[in-house]
Structures are given as C-alpha cells and as structure tokens.
Structure 1
Amino acid sequence: MQTLRLTFESFIFAWDALKSNILRTILSLLGVTVGIFAIIAIFAVVDSLESSVRHSMDFVGDKVIYVAKWPWTFGPDYPWWKYFNRPVPTVREFHELQQRLSANNKGVAIFAADGGNTLKSGSNSVSDCALQGVSYDYRAVSNVPIEQGRYFTTQEMDAARPVAIIGAVIAENLFPGGNALGSQFKAHGQKFTVIGVMEKEGKKILDTPSNDANCLIPFGMFTKMFGLSTNGMGGPSPSLAVKGRDDDPGLLDLEYEIQGVMRNIRGLKPREEDNFALNRPEMFASAIGKLFGVIGVVGGVIGGLAILVGGFGIANIMFVSVSERTNIIGIQKSLGAKNYFILFQFLFEAVFLCLIGGAAGIFLVWLLTKLPQDALPLFLSAGNMALGLLISVGIGVLAGIVPAVLAANLDPVIAIRAK
C-alpha cells in the first residue's frame, strides 16, 4: 500500500510540475519524441523491408532442396564450362528419386516453365504470362495459395488433361465477370478449363516471379506443348525439388541422401565430381538475415544518437526543476519526507516525461504506417512499440537519476533558505 501511495503522490507531483511550465515541457518532450520516432521508424522500415524481401522469395519455398544443372552461387575458381556441360534433370530421374528416396521427405516434384505467353478467352486476352508445368507434389514444395476452386487430382496429372490453375491477374483480365471456374481459355491453340484461381499477391519489391500472372498446368500437358530441352539450351528445361520434413531443420540427412541417389542414377564413380547442383533457399535467407542485421545495427546507432540528444535535454530540464523546487524539497524533508521519497519523486517525473515523448514518437510512426504504400507497405510491430517504451523508460532513468540523487541529498535547512 505504501508503494502505491508513493507512486500516486509522485505522479501527482510530476503532473503538477509538468503543467506548471507547459512550454518547457513541450520543448523537452520534442527531443525524446524525435529520438524515439527516429529509432522506431528505422526499425519499422527495416522490418517491413525484410518482410517484403522474404515475401518476394516465397516462390522458392521453405525447407526445399532443388536439383538442377546450375548452382545458385558460383565459386570463384570453378570453371564455367563444367557447369555448361552438365546434363539437365530428366523425367526418368524424377521417377527414380520418387522411388529411391526414403520417407525422409514430404514430396518430390518436377516442374518447368515457359514465359511470355498470351492467353485468350473470347475477345479477352492477357499477355506476358508464364505457363508452368508441374507434377502432383508441386504444392508440397512450393506455395500454391488457391482462393477459388481446387488443386489438380492424380487422375488429371496422369492423363495430362487440359486443366489449369490461373493467377488472379489472368482471371481478372480473361474473365472480368468473376466466373473463372469452369471457364475455358486458349494457350498456343490448346483449350484449357480453369479448375482453380490463386490468391492475388500484388507487386513484390524485388520483382521476383509472382503467381498473379502464372498459369499452372499438368506437367504431361506442358511437355506435349513445348517439349523439354536436354541440355538446358533452346527450350524449357525441368527442375526437381524435394520437400524436407518440418522436424528436420538442417536437411543435412536429406541432402546427403539426394546426393547419393543422384550420383547412383547418373552412374558417377566415387572419384568423379557431382554433375548436378543441390540448391537450398537457406542460401538466400542467410544472406538476407546478415544484410538486415547490419542495417538494423546502423539504424540503431543513428536512432541512438537521436535519442541521446533527447536524453540530455531531459537531464537539463530535471536539473532546472530541482533548482526551482529546492525550497519545496526543504519543506518536505523538514516535515519528515524520506530521501527515497524525494528521489522517487524526481525520478518518476523524468520517466513520466520520457514516456509521454516516447508515446508521441510511436504514435507518429503509427501514422506513417497508415500512408498508402504499394511498393513497401510499412507496419509497426508490437515488439517495436514495446521497445520504444522500454527505451523511453531507460532514458528517463538515466536522465533523471543524477538530478534525483542531488535533490534527495539536499540538507533541509539549506534547502528551506534557498530562493
């Protein structure tokens, strides 16, 4: 009860002190407000940018190992012609992987794509679309967010039927009435029936492949229309992907198993190098994490300098406040006020002042996130809000502790005589 009473009385003293000089209070608040706004705005931009970049990389999936001709990262001393002479993955290798891999995965898929296609339905058409042939387990290795309709059945895949799952932009342009399911369109003279429409993804910050202008069809139908390149040149070439289990974070066992099976399929001798690449999205995730870690540190330093200026402003105001209220402090101590009550009173005032400034800075950042942004939608996380308030409390304690200690240690007789 005593703690609550002291807290309440300190709040009353702090509030009266702040109201007694509104202009000085506002000026001292500005430093903290600007500092908190700077540091939280930087963190919000970094978080939003990282989220947008990771969203742009969604098309590669998570916990997936890709078997391809080319690696995603090149070593500095590796001759390019060794990559060039490698064979591309084949349908036979896809079936072999399906049969030989153990239960250490959630699915094996083969897929290939051809860009720059024009799709037509009656008098409507949409250009620059990607036609992507996929196997049944493609939805296990990659995100296929179906908003309307359904995914392919195994019968449709095995029979290579002319059915398709289209992106939102294709659906909007070909079927503006909103009745895409069951409707038909043509691509390269072949009729397709729409069985599903994917969710709209919108513009991505890195301009990576989007499902909005993507059309998924059975892999067998794709090969009938385009054929497959056997050397990775002059036509679409397939890629293989294996989805790892959720309880296998490192995927090392799965990677070693795929490597062993692929070497066996291609008849490589023990001393021969791999003539295929195993690519993992973690390569990008690791690079992105390091990049934004550096950006976050730089942003923290810049924001820290801004908040430091605000802290010095609060400290100066608290010294002035102690000087102005020296006589009142002497009267309080002569009436029996303990040192810790005086200390807590001024410390609470400094923290309270910083919390108001910090809350104002966070509010300004929140207003910033409400501005319409197509390329980079900003958001303010609860963690950043809590961090802003925590920094405000910390600055209040640091800025107010010295003035509060000086006030608490004043001699009551000398303090009463002060003017």
Structure 2
Amino acid sequence: MVLFFKLFKESFYFAYDALRQNKTRTFLSLLGITIGIVTIISVFALVDTFRGKLQESADKLGTKTVFIEKWPWGGFGEYPWWKYVQRPEAQLKEAELLKARLNDVEGVSYELHIANKTLKHKNNSIEGAKIIAVSYDSYKTWTFDFEEGRYFTELESQSGTALTVIGAGVAEGLFPNQQAVGKFIKIMGRNVMVVGVLKKEGEDMLGFSFDNEVVIPLNFARNLIDIRNNNYSPQITVRGKDNLNIDQLEDELRGAMRSIRKLKPAQEDDFALNKSTILSEQLDQMFIIINIAGWIIGGFSILVGGFGIANIMFVSVKERTNIIGIQKSLGAKNYFILMQFLFESIALSLIGGLLGLAIVFGASQLATHLFDFKIILNLDNIIRGITISVVIGVISGFWPAYSASALNPVDAIRSN
C-alpha cells in the first residue's frame, strides 16, 4: 500500500513536470479529455436536472391521479389524431356515475377550462386569464395550497354562489400590495367575490401552474357559459386512495367507463386515461437519446485526448529511457516501471477530467445565480467523470508503460 501511494505521488510529480516543461503540447492533449468530460457530464447533469423538475411536475399532478379525457397525452411516435377526434368528450353525468360506482377513490371531479378571458378589479385588469370551472370534489383531486382564505363549501358549490379562488399571479395583478380575500373581481361581466388565494408556484416543466388561473364553482359557471359545450376541454379527474395502485385504479376506471358508455367487448376505448407516468415515460425516451448523443460527441473528444496522452507517454518514455535503465540496474521490477508510467498517464487524464468537472461546476453555479436555473451536478456525475478519466488514462498509458517495462536495462543505460 505504501509503494502504491509512493508511485501515485511520483506519477503526479512527473505529470506536473510534463505540464510545466511542455505546456502547449500537454495542454492541447488534455484539451480533448476536458472537452469530452464537459460534454458528457453536462448532458448527464442537464438530464438529471430536467428529470428532477419533471418529477416535481408529475408529483404536482398527482401520482395517484388519472385524467379521463378525449385526447391521450403524447405526440411522440405515431399519434392517430384522426381516430381520437371522433371520440366524445367527457360528460358531467359520467363523473357523477363514476363517483357513485367507485369505492377506492378520494374524489371524482369534473372540470371545464375557459381560456383567454379578461379579469378586472377597479382600474386593474389582467388579459388572457384562464378560468377553471370545477365541481365540489376538485379539492380532493387537486392539491390547493392557500396563501390566504379557503376553498368553497359544498353548499356554496351546489348553489352556484358567485365565488372564486385565484392564483398568486392574478392576486398580484389585481390587488397589488393588498389583501384579495373579501374583494370582488369582474369575470365575464359578473362580480365575483374572492374567497381564497393560492400560494405562488411558478411554472413547472410541463407548463402547468395555478398562478394565473381562476377557479370557480361549476354551478356558477352555468350562468356564464353553456357547460354542455364541448369547446371548454372538459375532463374528469379521479384521485385514488393511497392504498390503491395506480394501475389498479386505471383498470377499475377503464371497466367503469366502458360500462357507462356501453361499449361492446370488441370495441376500442373511446376515451383516454391519462396519468403523469405517461409523460415521464415519453420524456425518458427522449432523455435516453440525448444521453447517447452526449456519449457520442464526448466520446470523439475523449478519443482524441486519449491519443494525445498516449503520444505524451511515448515521448516521456523516450526522454527517460536512461533513467529507466538505471532503475532496472538497481533492482526495479518490470511491474514497478509499468505502474510508474501507467499512473503518470492516469494522472494526466485525471487533470483533464478534473478541469472538465470544474468547468461544468462553474457553469452550473453561473446558471443558478445569473439565470435562476439550478443545474444538478450530483455525486454520481462527479464519480462518472473521474471514472471515465481513469479508464482513458489506463487505456492510453498501458502500451507506452508496457514498452517502458520491457526495455533491456543495459540498452536503456547506453541510450543517449
């Protein structure tokens, strides 16, 4: 073990000496390793970052939640839209029937999405707001985190009282520096009282946020729109209980919906059961392609760097042939010479790899502080970068090290 550390220490010294004496040549050789590590680790760091943000978005949608809609989520690969366009939209009566039939669910809600509306409060207004009309059970199927106020009561929801829960962005736009609860806003010509303000979320990776949305009771929406109109992207949202597996919930929902719509056994489903894992799986496929591209691009750079290090090591062996002969004449074994040059190659490669990791770390800190975009450079990626560097060092240095260890001591001493 002592010999190992002594060899490693001396190898770093020789590697440093090579850098000091041949700065340009060594720098250009290490540049390939550095660029390759930067490319590969940057790709992995970005993929980990986006995957983490995607998981946060999926958690917001609910890992036990299924959305019954006309259109399936997707777009990757084959997407037979001509078949989906003929499907019927989700209906309120279907949500009510599901609620009566299903036992292992937290709630079943029906929602309509009314887009691009103007909201007003005195002299303040917001353009392009999104209004969501929901049945009472929506608080069971979605997670509403309140900054102030509350959700509708069941009586208020059933009676169609003119009340609303607004997002943080709407509250900031209509009620700057003041409390919103208890005040009125104008929605589609009607005065509606604010009973709750949701906490600020920020837009997630899937583009979803309650910040600029307004939630109103479905029965109140009857006074504003024809809720049977299919232009409002109706959906049924079902959240299963914690003890129910999402696949079990999906199977139960499929059977119930097929029964409600009286579909024959040979008929295909005329509805989509969407869940957050669908998006995760599709984006994972994209991440795999990105990872492969990162390996290919980075691999070419590392290959060039590996040839550069091998060239440095052959030059080093030639310059130190006389020293190798003296070491062997004093009793140095072949494995000692081999390990000496092999460790030197690893040390050179590690210097390039560590420089690449430092660049990635610096870029991640810059992105975090200047652009408020936190890039995850976790321990796995650091270990991956170091491991790649060590492997390239071993591959690039083995043959020069072997040729050094195989030298005849007498011939080596006489060289000059």
Contact 1:333 1:412 in 2 (8 A): yes
In structure 2, the partner of 1:293 is: 288
In structure 1, the partner of 2:238 is: 242
CA distance in 2, matches of 1:278, 1:13: 64
In structure 2, the partner of 1:8 is: 9
In structure 2, the partner of 1:407 is: 404
Contact 2:163 2:194 in 1 (8 A): yes
1:361 to 356, 362, 379: 356
In structure 1, the partner of 2:196 is: 195
Contact 2:53 2:205 in 1 (8 A): yes
Where structure 1 has 5 or more consecutive residues not aligned to the other structure, the ranges are none
Amino acid at match of 1:110: Y
- Of 344-353 and 163-172, more deviation after overlay is shown by 163-172
In structure 2, the partner of 1:325 is: 320
**Judging changes above 3 Å, is the alpha-carbon distance between structure 1 residues 89 and 70 closer, same or farther for their aligned structure 2 residues?**
same
2:210 corresponds to 1:211 = yes
**Judging changes above 3 Å, is the alpha-carbon distance between structure 1 residues 323 and 181 closer, same or farther for their aligned structure 2 residues?**
farther
**Judging changes above 3 Å, is the alpha-carbon distance between structure 1 residues 25 and 186 closer, same or farther for their aligned structure 2 residues?**
same
- Of 393-402 and 136-145, more deviation after overlay is shown by 136-145
Q: Cα distance, 1:332 vs. partner?
A: 2.0
- Of 189-198 and 144-153, more deviation after overlay is shown by 144-153
Contact 1:322 1:403 in 2 (8 A): yes
2:374 corresponds to 1:381 = no
Amino acid at match of 1:111: E
**Judging changes above 3 Å, is the alpha-carbon distance between structure 1 residues 146 and 417 closer, same or farther for their aligned structure 2 residues?**
farther
- Of 53-62 and 386-395, more deviation after overlay is shown by 53-62
Q: How many residues align?
A: 409
Contact 2:129 2:212 in 1 (8 A): yes
1:264 to 243, 259, 268: 259
**Judging changes above 3 Å, is the alpha-carbon distance between structure 1 residues 367 and 273 closer, same or farther for their aligned structure 2 residues?**
closer
Amino acid at match of 1:167: G
Amino acid at match of 2:303: L
- Of 189-198 and 148-157, more deviation after overlay is shown by 148-157
Contact 2:18 2:26 in 1 (8 A): no
2:114 corresponds to 1:125 = no
Q: Cα distance, 1:300 vs. partner?
A: 1.4
Contact 2:35 2:298 in 1 (8 A): no
Amino acid at match of 1:221: F
In structure 2, the partner of 1:28 is: 29
Contact 1:58 1:143 in 2 (8 A): no
CA distance in 1, matches of 2:289, 2:331: 54
**Judging changes above 3 Å, is the alpha-carbon distance between structure 1 residues 186 and 373 closer, same or farther for their aligned structure 2 residues?**
farther
Contact 1:169 1:200 in 2 (8 A): no
Contact 1:44 1:381 in 2 (8 A): yes
Q: Cα distance, 1:238 vs. partner?
A: 3.0
Contact 1:151 1:196 in 2 (8 A): no
CA distance in 1, matches of 2:139, 2:225: 22
Contact 1:14 1:345 in 2 (8 A): no
CA distance in 2, matches of 1:20, 1:365: 28
Q: Cα distance, 1:111 vs. partner?
A: 1.2
Amino acid at match of 2:375: F
Contact 1:14 1:346 in 2 (8 A): no
- Once the two structures are aligned, what percentage of the paired residues are identical? 41
Where structure 2 has 5 or more consecutive residues not aligned to the other structure, the ranges are none
Please list, as runs of the form range in 1=range in 2, the aligned pairs for 1:130-145 lying within 5 A after superposition: 130-142=130-142, 144=144
CA distance in 2, matches of 1:293, 1:319: 38
Q: Deviations over 1:12-53 (max 9, x none)?
A: 444444444444433332222122222223334445556667
- TM-score, normalization by structure 2: 0.84
User: What is the RMSD computed on CA atoms of the aligned residues?
Assistant: 3.4
CA distance in 1, matches of 2:12, 2:85: 75
Secondary structure, counterpart of 2:306 in structure 1: helix
Contact 1:109 1:135 in 2 (8 A): yes
CA distance in 1, matches of 2:336, 2:152: 73
Q: Deviations over 1:305-327 (max 9, x none)?
A: 11111111111011111111111
Q: Cα distance, 1:395 vs. partner?
A: 1.0
Secondary structure, counterpart of 1:211 in structure 2: coil
Contact 1:94 1:110 in 2 (8 A): yes
**Judging changes above 3 Å, is the alpha-carbon distance between structure 1 residues 274 and 298 closer, same or farther for their aligned structure 2 residues?**
closer
**Judging changes above 3 Å, is the alpha-carbon distance between structure 1 residues 368 and 143 closer, same or farther for their aligned structure 2 residues?**
farther
- Of 325-334 and 24-33, more deviation after overlay is shown by 24-33
Contact 2:368 2:375 in 1 (8 A): no
**Judging changes above 3 Å, is the alpha-carbon distance between structure 1 residues 256 and 57 closer, same or farther for their aligned structure 2 residues?**
closer
Secondary structure, counterpart of 1:365 in structure 2: helix
Contact 1:365 1:380 in 2 (8 A): no
CA distance in 1, matches of 2:149, 2:108: 24
- TM-score, normalization by structure 1: 0.83
CA distance in 2, matches of 1:64, 1:113: 18
Contact 1:355 1:393 in 2 (8 A): yes
Contact 2:141 2:238 in 1 (8 A): yes
Q: Deviations over 1:121-176 (max 9, x none)?
A: 22111111011122454355445454555555555545544443322321221122
